[in-house]
Structure 1
Amino acid sequence: MNYEFFIAKRIIKAKQYKSSVSATIIKIAIAAIAIGIVMMMVAIATGMGLQKTIQEKVAAFNGHIQISNFDNNNSEVSLMPLDVKQEFYPDFTEVSGMTHVQAVAIKAGIIRTEKTFEGVLAKGIGPDYNWAAFEEFITEGRLPNVSEKRENREVLMSAYMARRLELKLGDTFKTIFLKEDTSEIPNERTFEIVGIYNSGFQKFDANVMLMDIRHIQRMNKWKNGEVGNFEVFIDDFGTIQEKTKEVYDTISSNLDTQNVTNKFPFIFEWISLFDVNIFLIIGIIIIVGGINMITALLVLILDRTPMIGILKSLGSSDLSIRKIFLYNAAYLIGIGLLWGNVIGLGFIWAQDTFGFLKFPNPEQYHTSIIPIHLEIWHVLALNIGTLVLCVLMLLIPSFIITKISPVKAIKFQ
């Protein structure tokens, strides 16, 4: 054990240290570090949680990557059919990281009731549809059964759409689907609401209705094995651009790919701003915490001025004495980090488990409960970064030790 660390340890354990004039200021500095680490953890957890929640909701309605015909169709509606017999379907084995592939088709229509009407995007799905992301959105009823041999009238409608149409679970309604040739008589279908969902994402809740894909195949006069497009899910959203390129390079030349970040750029540009806010909050809090620690260090130095004079008279170098106080400051920062981690992680666990904090305007953030997402490397990076940056900020004020004269310091005692 080097003697700087030994002396710093003795100072920390000394009773005078805990009852000295500087004790209150030291406690304030520790509290500032603890509060700062809590605020930084909460900022990261809520920012990352909101990003992840929105990403998952957009993917639930669209998949991460869409594979469709190479045409000029910029609408959501499926116009040209795709043969379901593709090398990548039902299992995309040529590209790693693919978790699921599903075939869908979309057709625009108008829901008509006795009192009102609403436009709708009827999304046709089959037995391969991934309900995992949708199950948590269900508020009433059940999922439609699309696995039977014969097509049925069951649909899953959003609570937003049901409210506007004044419909409820178990009601039946008629939907009109126009044909490409507008001179022909439109298709009319009667459906029954067997389930109601609420994703909180009004952009999709306002018009997306899930139904058996065979209705769309029949209305579009497609064959049984023809679909509108394929939706591909990946295991890591952070690799979506790379995976989109890999998928594009793998599929046939007559097919095109598009991922959700390109399809909905405004949504993902908006949530990318959360990163800027998180870094801004972290930067401000670290600066404030560092200033508090500088104040505590200066108070420690003034409180221990006689000791500094004695150590200098005994031959200790300025660098060694500075190390003693930096070790002491690092200990105080460590205490603050310890309490901050206990409080911060406890708060994050409670919010993730009970969800007691909610947005006052959930329609703006597409979720009612404030979501939480924090990984272990976030916690480690935050703690190590805070400790290192605060200690670095203390290097300059520690130079005041070099200005202390041993004679005056000992007289000061």
Structure 2
Amino acid sequence: MNFELFVSRRLISEKDFKSSISAPIIKIATAAISVGVIMMLIAFGTGLGLQEKIRDKIAAFNGHIQIESFSSRSQQVNQNSIPKNQEFYPAFSEVENVEHIQAVATKYGIIRTETDFEGILVKGVGEDYRWDYFEEYLVKGKLPDVKKENSTEILLSQSVVNKLALQLNDQVVVYFLAEDASSRPRLIAFTLVGIYNSGFKEFDDQFLIADLQQIQRINKWDADQIGNFEVFVSDFDDLEITTREVYQYIDSFLNASSIIEQYPTIFEWLKMFDMNIALIIGIMILVAGINMITALLVLILERTQMIGILKALGASDWSIRKVFLYNASYIILRGLFWGNLIGLGILFAQKYLKLIPLNPQTYYVTEAPISIQLYYIIGVNLGTLILCLLMLILPSVIISKITPIKAMQFE
């Protein structure tokens, strides 16, 4: 059997480190490791969860990449049309990261009721529209059926519905400005069949989801004319690279832009969470490491006579250092166990019970979102174990300064 591991096990089992000197120090070190792991897991879980949730919400309304005519960005009211018949549609197989592509169109309008009115952006969608996100945000009613001819069913946000005092199945009259200022506005009477609430007020107050055919009809477009394409990717981390690849495969009169380019302020704000996570990790590992160094030094000083006896019997300094590093590993692993148990328990409780609410006006979400990923759980545990042990190697050099003669002197 490994000599160092054997001695370390005997020390660990000896009254479970319950000596009068080292017991409280060891408990503090274990607690420091546990608290550090809890804080790091929560930082990763909430930070990544918030980033993913906000990205998903922006993508729900815009896709990850938008393909449109160059002139559409400069249009304030009317969107220029582009041909729906493209080589990359309906399957953008030329770019590997592209997961889905859909044809849409938007047009500004005004919802008018007997007592109030509200400006709105009507987004027309077709049979290829990806409803995954809105199924999650749906709070009342159903999703619009856009498969039938000139469907008048619409989806409207809870915030707009509350402002205008609307109910499910109410008739919603939307006025559209004509391109010719001298012409009278055109109107369409829609039927409210679904109410959604994404928690992203900036978009909830803006979007009304309707049938693409209605936008084509109001703009006097052909069935082959649309406003833009929305592209979804499978790996968001490669979005900027994918956007460039998409741009290379589309016609010269079309432009491709990612949601990072369209909403730079939001994504710059999200990057700050990476800095916060890194700062928390650094502080927690430093605190845990200092506590472990203290615990190791106390263990060494408490076992000075044992070190002297081992040296007298021929044990090398490195061999004795390994004994105490094994002891420190036991303390770290015990701290990791409790840290993971409590930390993951908190994350799962928030993920499924939604105990901690957030202000949607500040964070764009109604509760703290959680992302539980195996890679950061493993990284936190391995990183804490390795870095703490590396920090302990240097303090363990004190063992080489202990001489057998002085160490074995009994008072």
Counterpart in 2 of 1:159? 158
Runs (5+) with no aligned partner, structure 1 = none
Pick closer, same or farther for the CA change 1:194–1:16 going to 2, 3 Å. closer
Counterpart in 2 of 1:407? 405
Counterpart in 1 of 2:82? 82
Letter in 2 for 1:224: A
Does the 8 Å contact 1:103/1:229 carry over to 2?
yes
3-state SS of 2:99 partner: strand
Q: Could you tell which deviates more after superposition, 288-297 or 392-401?
A: 392-401
3-state SS of 2:90 partner: coil
CA distance in 2, matches of 1:75, 1:305: 80
Does the 8 Å contact 1:66/1:229 carry over to 2?
yes
Counterpart in 2 of 1:242? 241
Displacement of 1:76 after TM fit? 6.9
1:385 to 370, 383, 386: 383
CA distance in 1, matches of 2:168, 2:76: 27
Displacement of 1:314 after TM fit? 2.4
Does the 8 Å contact 1:157/1:196 carry over to 2?
yes
Counterpart in 2 of 1:310? 309
Displacement of 1:402 after TM fit? 2.4
Counterpart in 1 of 2:205? 206
Does the 8 Å contact 1:78/1:105 carry over to 2?
no
Does the 8 Å contact 2:201/2:360 carry over to 1?
no
Displacement of 1:60 after TM fit? 0.4
Displacement of 1:224 after TM fit? 1.3
What TM-score results when the alignment is normalised by the length of structure 2? Answer: 0.96
Measured on the aligned residues, the alpha-carbon RMSD in Å equals: 1.6
CA distance in 2, matches of 1:215, 1:72: 19
Counterpart in 2 of 1:64? 64
> Is 1:370 aligned to 2:368, yes or no?
yes
CA distance in 2, matches of 1:61, 1:248: 21
Counterpart in 1 of 2:129? 129
1:360-407 CA-to-partner distances (Å, cap 9, x unmatched) read x23211111211112111111111111111111112222222222322
Residues 24-39 of structure 1: matches in 2 within 5 Å?
24-39=24-39
Letter in 2 for 1:30: T
Residues 177-196 of structure 1: matches in 2 within 5 Å?
177-196=176-195
CA distance in 2, matches of 1:287, 1:76: 53
Does the 8 Å contact 2:78/2:179 carry over to 1?
no
3-state SS of 2:351 partner: helix
What TM-score results when the alignment is normalised by the length of structure 1? Answer: 0.95
Counterpart in 1 of 2:3? 3
Letter in 2 for 1:46: T
3-state SS of 1:104 partner: strand
Pick closer, same or farther for the CA change 1:351–1:202 going to 2, 3 Å. same
Does the 8 Å contact 1:81/1:229 carry over to 2?
yes
Does the 8 Å contact 1:45/1:348 carry over to 2?
yes
3-state SS of 1:161 partner: helix
Displacement of 1:78 after TM fit? 5.2
Runs (5+) with no aligned partner, structure 2 = none
Displacement of 1:62 after TM fit? 0.4
Q: Could you tell which deviates more after superposition, 153-162 or 319-328?
A: 319-328
3-state SS of 2:18 partner: helix
CA distance in 2, matches of 1:291, 1:283: 12
Number of aligned residues: 411
Q: Could you tell which deviates more after superposition, 64-73 or 104-113?
A: 64-73
Letter in 2 for 1:294: I
1:295-323 CA-to-partner distances (Å, cap 9, x unmatched) read 11111011101111112222333222222
Counterpart in 2 of 1:99? 99
CA distance in 2, matches of 1:3, 1:77: 80
- Identity among equivalent pairs (%): 52
Q: Could you tell which deviates more after superposition, 130-139 or 12-21?
A: 12-21
CA distance in 2, matches of 1:379, 1:119: 46
Counterpart in 1 of 2:328? 329
Letter in 1 for 2:18: K
Displacement of 1:72 after TM fit? 5.9
